Structure 1
Amino acid sequence: MIRSLFGRLFWSHLTVIIVSTLILGGSLSYLIRDHAITTKKVDLITKGGSTVALIAPDIADGRVPSSDTIARLNELTTATVWLADQEGNILAGQPPRRWSRDFDEDDAELDAMFEGKVQSWVRTDQRNPERAVVVALPIREAKAPTAMFLFAPIFGINRAAQAVETLLIYALLSGMAASIVLGYFMSRSLTRPIEDISRAAGSFAKGDFASRTTVTGDHEIGRLGEVFNSMADSLARIEQNRRDFLANITHEIRTPIAAIQAMAEALHDGVAGPELQNRYLETIVGQTRHMDKLVQELLDLAQLEAGELKIVKVKFELFEQLSHVCERFSPMLTEKNIRLEVVESKGELLVAADPMRLEQVLNNLVANAVRHSPPDSVISIKADKGTTFATVSVVDHGEGITSEDLPHIWERFYRAEKSRSRIGGGSGIGLAVTRQLVISMGGDIRVESTVGEGATFSFTLPLANS
């Protein structure tokens, strides 16, 4: 229990209560005793000074106070009064019992007293546990060094201290009982939410991607719960996208492999005539190219995410690169009767980027635009020069992208088309690769779309220093 967070919070809370109470009790006990002793010293010194003034004339004439005088002085000062010389001889009065054994003072203190300094001590008689205050006042009028001693026990100081200590013991026990109850509920209120988050995390780690914590609120643990739920939502979505992606990839690979296998078997068995043989061979070559492109995209994405793909930036003219892309897509454009136009701005536009990777970006975006554009439509590629960046936009007039799909199209494994037909779309990683390539070249990419009107993909590239 002590090793758990609940146990540590509970016992630390209890320990603070106990230590605080003990320190408070010891401090109060000391202050009570010290206040009583200090008050008694001041009282005896004041009364002693008045007493010395009363007997000083007799002492100056060499007369020693009688027993009756000493008795009246005892009543007046409420203390035991006696006179002694520098050798310790008692001149008048009667000191307490065992005075010579229990009340021997330091020679330096006695010398200072007989030289005219008031001295005071706190002593405890062995037979009486009550503390006593002893005050010694020099009698300067005496012919020989003489001092008056006043001895007064501080009755009740121990009883008062014991009463305080007893009260503190009861307070300590009550505080411990209250701290046990409060500490238990406070510790549980802190650890129960953490246990709930831990439970949800454990279930999530075991594959229950629907596991969420109920701990939310405007406090540290509540915000932790909200962050966990947000992270769980993101991971669950990624996991679902990964499963969809694997299903898509499986279908993408299975379809060409099945076609290649069927055609290869037909060629091997010799059941295909010369015309079919050429058609089968062309289909086989096309399917292998499709699978090669798919594998290459997967390798590029893995290298980009690991930061291992080499980007070689050079300075080149952007419009020349755009013209090469238009030429490359001529066969595909003729098939759908789509026109691809490059809108050029005045003057040359020099950028600092990797030409090969830029070509890959443009190929992905234009191929995506051609795939989603209707026949007899126009695809525009625009390039604008900014202050530090050039902006390239690929605009199509196809079916567009829904608002639900728009935030997720850059995610790996995501496909806006839920069907698995290769006719409807690519493998779902082309745009993820495109985005990573643009970012690796120091730019950014975004998309704007309206359903039924088309989509505009725009990316930036840093301008070359002239």
Structure 2
Amino acid sequence: MTFRTTMVLSAIALLSSLGILIATSVWSHSSGARLLARVDMAHRQALLVTRLEADIMARTVADNRQKHVLDQSVRISVPDYLATIQSERALIGQDDESQEHQAREGNAAQHLAAMIDGPDETLDWMKARRLSHEIALREKQEAEEATLSIQDVQARIDAMIWSVALFILLLCAMIGFLLWRGIVMPIAALVEGTGKIAIEQRPARVRPAGLGELRNLATRFNSMASAVEDQVARRTGALQRANDELKDIDGRRRLFLSKVSHELRTPVTVMRGEAEVALRHPGDRNALHDALTHILDSSLFLQRRLDDLLTLARAEDGALALNSDRFDLGEVVRDAYGMAAPFALASGITLNLDCAPDIVPVAGDQERLCQALVAIIDNGVKFSPPAGSVTLHLQADKDRARIAISDEGPGVPEIELDRIFDPYVQTAAGRSRGGTGLGLSLARWIADKHGGNIMAANHRNGDGLCVSLSLPVLS
């Protein structure tokens, strides 16, 4: 049942009850007034008949002059009594029994009037006295019955009024109970549910109850509560993931600073040592030339490491944009060879180049591809044993070009091959030789941005690692 229907039915019931109460009051007032008029008329008739009887009885002991006065009084009283009978008939209405009774009273009164109106010589006052006495007894009885009737009717009217009032009271109580169950309790449940949502207490559900609108509201409230809880759960999960990411970023930042400090310490230490050696022999030009050469090589290596760090940091932040130019991949391979050769020479490693003179057209950022190749070559130089070699090989097919960089180092355990391209990840051998673990990660990012792929594999004899980078070739 809806609120509107409940209110309409309640209003109809209350108005009907009030209508019944008003109608009962009007009817009781009308009936009471009519009964009071009858009672008053009955007492008036009884008084007239009693007076008439008293006058007739007084005539028997009166003298002639008094008899004449009493006769006149009797002849006046009888017509007055007849008039009251006619008036009483009008008050009775259509009640057949009462009308018949009034007809008998009228006949008796007319008979009495006929007796009194006759000649004095023929008037039998004893019969008139008996008849008036009978009429007086009937009127007294009628007055008593009328009094009892009005008391009975008044009692019934009071009972009816109390019954209607009690019905209205019960109806109001029932309406109040229905409103309590249908409106107050559901609203209280909704208030409690909103309080649970406010303090994030779960589950914040409300049992649909009450009127139709409130049941619909409770259903919508439950849907809203579910949506809010789901949203809170999602946001809590998102915050947790963001917090985990922040912890991961903080850990990577700490690792990054540690790696950077370690990575920069080595070339700085080399440059400082070479400078100290040169200062101890200021007159030896050859020693000074060798020291400056080592300082230059170390500074170039240091610059490449700084470039790698800055490039990877900008790439992770999404701030690094790559060019999309057409160029010769062979030229990039040769440039990378030229940049890495001094560091290889200073490390006692032979760097070999196997690059065909044919043009291999590719599209992308020439500088970043060269940076990726140098990072791979430096990684191979670092892991190659003294007097070892690193080979840089370029091979091109119709639609793909493959650059392979092979070293003679210890290789990588098979279980770690897939992880060496992740940032800050190093094998046990890599950690023993220092480094940041960023070079191969940077190379993979650059290869992905150029639509290529990069992979690593150990040599078949288990001696050395081959890192290959494959790129699409333009037609």
Normalised TM-score (structure 1): 0.49
Computing the radius of gyration from Cα coordinates, the structure with the larger value is 2
Q: Which has the higher strand share?
A: 1
Q: Which has the higher helix share?
A: 2
Normalised TM-score (structure 2): 0.48
